[in-house]
Amino acid sequence: MALVDELTIFAKAGNGGDGVVRWLHLKGQEYAGPAGGNGGNGGDIYIRGVRDINLLARYRGEKKFEAENGEEGGNRLKGGRSGDDHIIDLPVGSVVKNVATGEEFELITDNEQKLVLKGGRGGAGNAVFKSSVNRSPTESIPGGRGESAELRIELRLIADAGLVGLPNAGKSSLLNALTGASAKIGSYAFTTLDPNLGAVYGFVLADIPGLIEGASEGKGLGFKFLRHIARTKILLHCVSLESETPLADYLSIHEEMNKFEQGVLAHKPEMVILTKSDTRDASAIAAISAQFAARGIETVTVSILDDAQVKALWDRILSVLR
Ligand SMILES: Nc1nc2c(ncn2[C@@H]2O[C@H](COP(=O)(O)OP(=O)(O)OP(=O)(O)O)[C@@H](O)[C@H]2O)c(=O)[nH]1
Ligand SMILES: [Mg+2]
């Protein structure tokens, strides 16, 4: 299913209920005084951030985003019930623009809620107008109209984690294994030419083209794509165990990344993932891990052919993101 990242909907807040003209009837006294209640307020329209990047697709074709109207006032000063608010759940990273007013609202975090359209105020019943000079007021005020507008929704995805590493390190394969994405895989360098995204449990992973030594001086492809992962919480640095020199591979790419935009990535948390573990035996892998450990670098080992390892890796990533 293709990602829907733009959508325009029509939304309407509830109207306020009307205030009413009513009279108190007492025994032997037909009009014992004004008793019309106030109308209830109309419900508001809110937007709320949710971790589900596929929500917009589900709203396509759905026409009604309406909050409830307030009820009109009643007898004996009884106020009308206020209308319920309507909350529109949208993916975190959504920017909502009120087309009529140009006002913009952005949802940055999970569960964040913003008031977008205000419901109409309930009107006043005739009891409100009672005074020493007007003991039988016949006026009342109708409820105000709720705001309505076209809302333009734009999804600006913010990746939570970014896959980096040399070409052919297995980044796209891992994205697919972790998220069920369908990024192109190839047994050659620079298979990935544009960033790929995948999502699970609402967390977004970004896969970018491979980096090579000299990337910061313009070699290869991946460097300019680093901006896509500059806002992630964690970098997933993939190092292939097929390589004869995993540690050197890691260090050269690490150094290139540190040169990106005055070192914005230098202090970002990084998880070092040794990929393609099925291509080496356990003792060779242990020796390679030890080389990293000697430099204080913790590693995780994974093969996309091993479901249990993929699952364990995902749990580790989630524990950082949550
Ligand atoms: N045996 C084995 N092969 C793997 C594994 N993961 C990836 N590969 C292979 O490694 C090659 C490269 O995989 P990709 O996922 O395209 O690598 P990449 O890092 O995205 O490469 P670029 O997009 O060129 O940077 C492909 O032939 C994959 O089939 C693994 O766990 N085990
Ligand atoms: Mg790739």
Same-domain check for residues 93 and 203: no
Whether 22 shows a pLDDT value over 90: the answer reads yes
What is the structure's pLDDT at 209? Answer: 84
Are residues 198 and 311 both part of a single domain? yes
Residues 6+ apart with CB under 8 A from 93: 53, 107, 108, 155, 156, 157, 158
Q: Which atom of ligand 1 is nearest to the CA of 184?
A: 16
Q: Are residues 166 and 298 in the same domain?
A: yes
**Separation of CA 8 and ligand 2 centre (Å):** 33
Distance CA(231)–CA(158), nearest Å, equals 7
Best mutation site among 173, 229, 243, 281 for ligand 1 pocket (most ligand atoms within 8 Å of CB): 173
Amino acid type, 287: A
Looking at residue 100, which CATH number applies to its domain?
A: 2.70.210.12
Supply the pTM of this predicted model: 0.67
Share of the chain above pLDDT 70, in %: 98
Distance CA 291, CA 239 (A): 13
How do residues 119-140 score in pLDDT, each as one tens digit? 999 999 999 999 999 888 999 9
- pLDDT tens-digit map of 84-127: 999 999 988 889 999 999 999 999 888 999 999 999 999 999 99
**How many angstroms separate the alpha carbon of residue 217 from the centre of ligand 1?**
25
Does 232 score more than 90 pLDDT? no
Shared domain check, 298 and 317? yes
Residues with CB under 5 A from ligand 2 (ion): 171-172, 191-192
Task: Say yes or no: 28 and 131 in one domain.
Answer: yes
Portion of the chain with pLDDT greater than 90, in percent: 62
Same domain for 89 and 221?
Answer: no
151 and 224 share a domain? no
* pLDDT mean over 35-59: 92
Distance 17 CA to ligand 2 centre (A): 59
- The count of domains in the chain is 2
Question: Taking 70 as the threshold, does the pLDDT of residue 237 lie above it?
Answer: yes
pLDDT at 227: 75
pLDDT at 263: 83
Instruction: Give the structural domain span for 280.
Output: 161-321
- Domain boundary, last residue among 156, 178, 207: 156
| Residue 29 shares a structural domain with residue 133 | yes
The predicted pLDDT at position 2 comes to 54
Q: What is the largest CA-CA distance in the chain?
A: 105
Q: Which residues line ligand 1 (CB under 6 A)?
A: 165, 167-173, 185-187, 189-192, 209-210, 275-276, 278-279, 303-305
Question: Last residue of some domain: 125, 156, 187?
Answer: 156
Domain with residue 177: its CATH number is 3.40.50.300
Q: Are residues 172 and 67 in the same domain?
A: no
Mean pLDDT within 213-224: 79
Note whether 156 and 228 are within 8 A (CB): no
- Residues 196 and 250 placed together within one structural domain of the fold: yes
Which of 156, 189, 222 is the C-terminal boundary of a domain? 156
The answer on 152 and 42 residing in a single domain is yes
Of 253, 244, 162, 250, which is closest to residue 211 (Cα–Cα)? 253
Looking at the structure, do residues 188 and 128 belong to the same domain, yes or no? no
Instruction: For residue 195, report the distance from its CA to the centre of ligand 2, in Å.
Output: 9
Q: Which ligand is nearest to the CA of 190?
A: 1
Of 5-19, 21-35, 134-148, 295-309, minimum mean pLDDT range: 21-35
| Gap between the Cα atoms of 289 and 278, Å rounded | 15
Query: Exposure pattern of 106-125 as b/e (b: 16+ CB <10 Å)?
Result: bbeeeeeeeebbbbbbbbbb
Tokens for 262? Answer: 């005055």
**Of residues 302 and 60, more confidently modeled:** 302
Q: What's the confidence (pLDDT) of residue 1?
A: 42
3-state secondary structure the chain: CCCCCEEEEEEECCCCCCCCCCECCECCECCCCECCCCCCCCCCEEEEEECCCCHHHHHCCCCCEECCCCCCCCCCCCCCCCCCCEEEEEECCEEEEECCCCCEEECCCCCCEEEEECCCCCCCCHHHHCCCCCCCCCCCCCCCCCCEEEEEEEECCCCCEEEEECCCCCHHHHHHHHHCCCCCCCCCCCCCCCCEEEEECCEEEEECCCCCCCHHHCCCCHHHHHHHHCCCCEEEEEEECCCCCHHHHHHHHHHHHHCHHHHCCCCCCEEEEEECHHHCCHHHHHHHHHHHHCCCCCEEECCCCCHHHHHHHHHHHHHHHC
| Mean pLDDT over each residue of the chain, to the nearest integer | 91
